[in-house]
Chain A
């Protein structure tokens, strides 16, 4: 009983998060505009290895995907994210956003899988991990897997504490 209630609460919380979805992550995560000097044409590889040169390409595709997803064109959003993933397959944000797109189009098992994939690449990005576990919790709940949803919910909550916000 408590499990079910917990999961329902989880759904509500997660839905709020999901509605913000991709946009919020895009602002805060790794994929930020890199500082290419504006007077110098050409996206040359910056000397510091921290900002890979392909980030510009990924960022543009992600923005386009965001737009498509907001317009309800999930097919296109998914395709753009897949295209970005071929450039940066270990980018946890891309996998997460693909999870959100799949969730929005009601492909729940794939939403869960993509979120798990994102977790596997999320490293110590606690916030991203937490959001992924929330997607996993909701997807499981909506598919009738309440125990699984509970377990995922606990992971998400544990991360919230660990995140120490």
Chain B
């Protein structure tokens, strides 16, 4: 009682005290509110960043997967070219995913598991035996099982990303080797599974370890704190920053479970700088440093990555190999001490070299021209931002084999030529319309002006097949044996001036057979033919071949004033190669999202745009061009047994050298020229054809042997008069004709032998009466 009383009294005696208390109370409340508000703000920050954190993941573009099956045309060297492009390594046992070994005509390899757009393909070991340029057999080593077909995981040919960027390859926790996680926690945060964001004992242990080692071997920050630091904060070292970091780490732990935090950490941590690209996350660091996916890394590589966390630049193994190696071995020791690794395993790993892929000796192959085509293709269906950020997976049609063949051919043929000589190359698969290789300029590795797509140049004689096709589509008037007038002609050009086309060799031959006029690319008979058929009939053909053609064209159009890119020419000639069926060219087979769900497929589509009979006759003439006409020099590189069809093109003053041609499986278009339209002194045959022939020599396995349509038969024609003849007559050539449209008039010899033939042979008569 008395104390109460006295206190009351005291209160009344000291008047200022209640005010002080009130101030204190207000201050407390205020600071509580402020702290709460600050905490809420931080919490909001943590949450919105963590959940809203959508790493911007560039779209990954893959080559087409190589299919292995007995009977496929493939050599061991070609297989190794493919495997190298896909980042496979030579290992004697070839038993690790992404490895191979070769023993003469046999290659053993182990594929990596891969999520194709149409399903998962597990890792398999294969023994591939070769012979005669083909795969003889395919087997699982140590098993009687012989798979009929196997798909090799495809090369990653590029990414679609903004120019200055953070790059990463997202991994899921379950795909990360347990030893890596164990090692990371052992080194960076032993208490990870127990603490709530902060770890006083961790700090203490780190301090002890550091003192014992005489240098900093462990950091005191928890992984959570490190993540917060990477994620939200700037680099300044202040007390308030430390405090914020601590609060946010605790908040993060309150909000999210350990797995989420760990997975985010594994993807976020900065590990290297590669020019304008920051390498974030273990998923990308693994292929960046070792050329292997994270899941396949041996422990010494895992340890090296863990070692780099502490100081990506200080422990950069390229710049400071000794330092990096020491720290790696320290990490391995810690891993052994904490039971992540066995002692022996750790010791063995410590003996291993760093195992880095050299950045200089093995530069990543670039496919800039093809990537450009893929991006243009995708931009029809996707926004640029989505391509750059959504982690899409793009399954393209690029064949590393075809690309390598084309690049080698271009390099060999352009060696020693003027630096100003540029080129564009397209190769594609005839029946599927899939673009397999693309070269946009002399330096195929350089992303510059993409001539394969953007150099629109006069096509010269490459237009001629359209002229002849227009004629052959009118079999009542023209056949391969029609005589064309090769005498000089005068026409009016665009400006109303007199234009008189000349033959390339400046001579005139009188009359020539239609088939020879195309095979030898004579200009004058072509112009005469085109004028007879009508220029509009020719432009109609060009449109059916998928190209834009002027509504009103001048006679000079018949000699190739139309300006087309190599890719457009490829689309045009694809129709001939596929015997009248147009197949829209494709560079992408399918796109799936970051989780592997298919988003879009680009299907094979086709349409008959030229009748089978007409295109068969045209192809006959284009084959003749290769056998004995303007393209015949191709057979100095290619075997005579390979049937080919194609056409040279040369423009005025030797400004453009073109070749477009095909075998049964591969179509190629090559353009050579200068960007400034200067003369290059090469014809289609002396320039582009060489690159084409060397490319096909590497690629093509099947000759072009179109089946003769039912309504086409072979008849003997007199070369000089174009009349019906007989194989027993001089100057007779056998040519295919549409049934019912053979020439009505006969040569004397032809008729005589024809009638006599029936009598003397008489086999059908005999058969008739038997």
Q: Report the Cα distance A44→B580, complex, angstroms.
A: 35
> Which one of A5-13, A16-24, A84-92, A146-154 is at the interface?
A84-92
B601 touches A75 (CB 8 A): yes
Q: Which residues of B contact A56 (CB under 8 A)?
A: 69-70, 148-149
Contacts of A41 in B (CB 8 A): 139, 143-146
Contact A44 B137 (CB under 8 A): yes
Q: Indicate whether A123 sits within 8 Å of B429 (C-beta atoms), given known contacts A60-B149, A79-B601, A87-B67.
A: no
- The yes or no answer to A82 lying at the interface (CB within 8 A) is yes
| Residues in A whose Cβ lies below 8 Å from that of B138 | 42-43
Q: Which of B144, B603, B612, B665 contacts A82 (CB 8 A)?
A: B603
Q: Say which residue of B144, B580, B601, B707 sits within 8 Å of A121 (CB atoms).
A: B707
The residue in chain B whose Cβ has the minimal distance to the Cβ of A41 is B144
Q: Which of A52, A61, A98, A123 contacts B71 (CB 8 A)?
A: A52
In the assembly, what is the distance between CA of A53 and CA of B72, in Å?
A: 8
List A95-111 residues whose CB lies under 8 Å from chain B: 98, 109-110
Q: Which of B127-183 contact A (CB under 8 A)?
A: 129, 134-139, 143-146, 148-149
Q: Fill in one digit per residue for A14-36: 1 if any B CB lies within 8 Å of its CB, else 0.
A: 00000000000000000000000
**0/1 string, B657-668, CB within 8 A of A gives 1:** 000000011000
**Chain B contacts for A117, CB-based, 8 A:** 581, 606, 608
A87 to B135, CA, bound (A): 13
Q: Is B40 an interface residue (CB 8 A)?
A: no
Q: Are A89 and B139 in contact (CB under 8 A)?
A: no
Instruction: Collect the chain B residues with CB atoms within 8 Å of residue A113's CB.
Output: 581, 605-608
Complex Cα gap A90–B430 (Å): 11
**Is B43 an interface residue, CB under 8 A from the partner?**
no
Q: Does B579 touch A at the CB level, under 8 Å?
A: yes
A59's contact among B71, B72, B148, B664, by CB below 8 Å, is which? B148
In the bound complex, do residue B579 and residue A45 qualify as a contact, i.e. CB atoms below 8 Å apart? no
Shortest CB-to-CB span from B121 to chain A, Å, is: 12
Known contacts A57-B149, A85-B431, A89-B430; is A43 also within 8 Å of B70 by CB? yes
**Contact digits for B578-618, partner A, Cβ 8 Å, 1 yes 0 no:** 01110000000000000000000101111110001000000
Contact A85–B149 (Cβ < 8 Å): no
Q: In the assembled complex, which residues on chain A have CB atoms less than 8 Å from the CB atom of B434?
A: 86
Q: For B118, B431, B432, which residue has the most chain A Cβ atoms within 10 angstroms?
A: B431
Chain B positions within 8 Å of A85 at CB level: 431-432, 604
The answer for the CA separation of A87 and B554 in the assembled complex, in Å, is 44
Determine if A42 and B69 form an interchain contact, defined as CB atoms under 8 angstroms apart: no
B69 CB contact (under 8 Å) in A54, A109, A121: A54
A76 smallest CB distance to B (angstroms): 7
Does A44 lie within 8 Å of B606, measured CB to CB?
no
Residues on the B chain within 8 Å of A123, using CB = 707
Contact A87 B603 (CB under 8 A): no
How far is it, in angstroms, between the C-alpha of A85 and the C-alpha of B583 when the chains are bound?
14
Residues on B with C-beta less than 8 A from A109 are: 607
State which residues 639-675 of B face A: CB under 8 Å. 664-665
Selected contact of B603 from candidates A52, A53, A61, A78, CB within 8 Å = A78
- Does the CB pair A57–B606 fall under 8 Å? no
* A residues in contact with B137, CB < 8 Å: 42-45
Cβ contact within 8 Å between A43 and B146: yes
Structural contact, B601 and A54, CB atoms closer than 8 A: no
Whether the pair B146, A89 counts as a contact (CB closer than 8 A) is no
> Nearest Cβ distance between residue A110 and chain B, in whole angstroms?
6
Nearest-CB residue, chain A, relative to B65: A83
Docked complex Cα distance between A78 and B605 (Å): 11
Docked pose: A46 CA to B665 CA in angstroms: 23
In the bound assembly, the distance between CA atoms of A76 and B137 in angstroms comes to 27
Which residues of chain B have C-beta atoms less than 8 A from A87's C-beta? 67, 69, 72
| Cβ-closest chain A residue relative to B590 | A79
Determine the residue in chain A with the shortest Cβ distance to B430: A89
Nearest-Cβ distance from residue B293 to partner chain A, whole angstroms: 25
Q: Digit string of A103-129 for contact with B (CB within 8 Å is 1, else 0)?
A: 000000110011011001101000000
Nearest-neighbour CB distance to chain A for B763, whole angstroms, equals: 22
Q: Given A41-B144, A44-B137, A57-B148, A89 and B608 touching (CB < 8 A)?
A: no
Residues on A with C-beta less than 8 A from B71 are 45, 52-55, 57
Contacts of B707 in A (CB 8 A): 120-121, 123
State whether B606 touches A45 (Cβ < 8 A): no
Which residues of the partner chain A approach B136 to less than 8 Å between Cβ atoms? 44-45, 53
Highest count of chain B CB atoms <10 Å: which of A75, A76, A86, A109: A86
Using an 8 Å CB-CB cutoff, how does the interface string of A32-73 with B read, 1 for contact, 0 for none? 000000000111110000001111110111000000000000
A contact residues around B606 at 8 Å (CB)? 110, 113-114, 117
* Contact A89:B607 (CB < 8 A) given known A45-B71, A53-B71, A76-B118: no
Alpha-carbon gap, A89 to B430, bound state (A): 9
Write out the residue numbers on chain B whose beta carbons fall within 8 Å of the beta carbon of A90. 431, 664
How far, in whole Å, are A75 and B129 apart by their CA atoms in the complex?
34
A41 to B138, CA, bound (A): 9
Return the chain B residue nearest A86 by Cβ. B432
Q: Give Cα A85–Cα B604 distance, bound, in whole angstroms.
A: 10
Q: Which residue of B lies closest to A76 (CB)?
A: B118
Q: How far is the CA of A116 from the CA of B138 in the complex (A)?
A: 34
Distance of A87 Cα from B146 Cα, bound (Å): 18
Q: Which of B417-442 contact A (CB under 8 A)?
A: 429-432, 434
- Give the chain A neighbours of B430 by CB distance below 8 A: 89
Residues of B within 8 A of A79 (CB): 118, 601
The answer to whether residues A57 and B69 also contact, given A79-B118, A120-B707 and a CB cut-off of 8 A, is yes
Min CB–CB distance B398 → chain A (angstroms): 14
Q: Which residue of A lies closest to B129 (CB)?
A: A42
Chain B minimum-CB-distance residue to A52: B71
CB A52 to nearest CB in B, in angstroms, measures 5
Q: Report yes or no: A43 in contact with B603, Cβ–Cβ below 8 A.
A: no
Looking at the assembled complex, report how far the CB atom of A53 sits from the nearest CB atom of chain B, in whole angstroms: 3
Write out the residue numbers on chain B whose beta carbons fall within 8 Å of the beta carbon of A120.
Answer: 579-581, 612, 707
A-side contacts of B431, CB under 8 Å: 85-86, 89-90
Q: In whole Å, how far is B555's beta carbon from the nearest beta carbon of chain A?
A: 34
Please, how many angstroms separate the alpha-carbon atoms of A146 and B555 in the complex? 40
Closest residue to A79 on the B side, CB-wise? B118
Residue of B nearest to A38 (CB): B144
Pair A89/B70 contact, Cβ less than 8 Å: no
> Quick check: A53 and B145 within 8 Å, CB to CB?
no
Taken together as a complex, chains A and B put the C-alpha atoms of A75 and B431 apart, in Å, by 19
Q: What separation, in Å, do the CA atoms of A60 and B67 have in the docked complex?
A: 14
Are the C-beta atoms of B146 and A42 separated by less than 8 Å? yes
B67 and A86 within 8 A (CB): yes
A44 closest partner in B (C-beta): B137
Residues of A within 8 Å of B118, CB to CB, are 76, 79-80
Q: How far is the CA of A120 from the CA of B619 in the complex (A)?
A: 15
Q: Which of A54, A60, A80 is most buried by chain B, counting CB atoms within 10 A of its CB? A: A54
**Residues of chain B with a CB closer than 8 A to A89's CB:** 429-432, 665
Q: Report the separation of the CA atoms of residues A23 and B605 in the bound assembly, to the nearest whole angstrom.
A: 23
B131 CB to closest chain A CB (Å) equals 8
Kindly identify which residue among A42, A57, A80, A114 contacts B139, using a CB–CB cutoff of 8 Å.
A42
Q: Do the beta carbons of A54 and B581 come within 8 Å of each other?
A: no
Most buried by B among A57, A60, A61: A57
A57–B150 CA distance with the chains assembled, in angstroms: 9
CA distance in complex: A86, B148 (Å): 15
Task: Report the minimal beta-carbon distance from A10 to chain B, rounded to whole angstroms.
Answer: 21
Residues from chain A with Cβ under 8 Å of B664 in the complex: 90
Chain A residues with CB below 8 A from B70, complex form:
42-45, 53-54, 56-57
A80–B145 CA distance with the chains assembled, in angstroms: 22
**3 closest residue pairs by CB, A with B:** A53-B71, A42-B137, A89-B431
Supply 7 A–B pairs (Cβ within 8 Å), ascending by A: A42-B146, A59-B148, A60-B148, A78-B604, A80-B118, A85-B604, A110-B606
Given contact pairs A53-B71, A109-B607, enumerate 20 new A-B contacts (beta carbons under 8 Å).
Answer: A41-B143, A42-B129, A42-B137, A42-B138, A42-B146, A56-B70, A57-B69, A79-B118, A85-B432, A87-B67, A87-B72, A89-B430, A90-B431, A90-B664, A98-B604, A113-B608, A117-B608, A120-B580, A120-B581, A120-B707
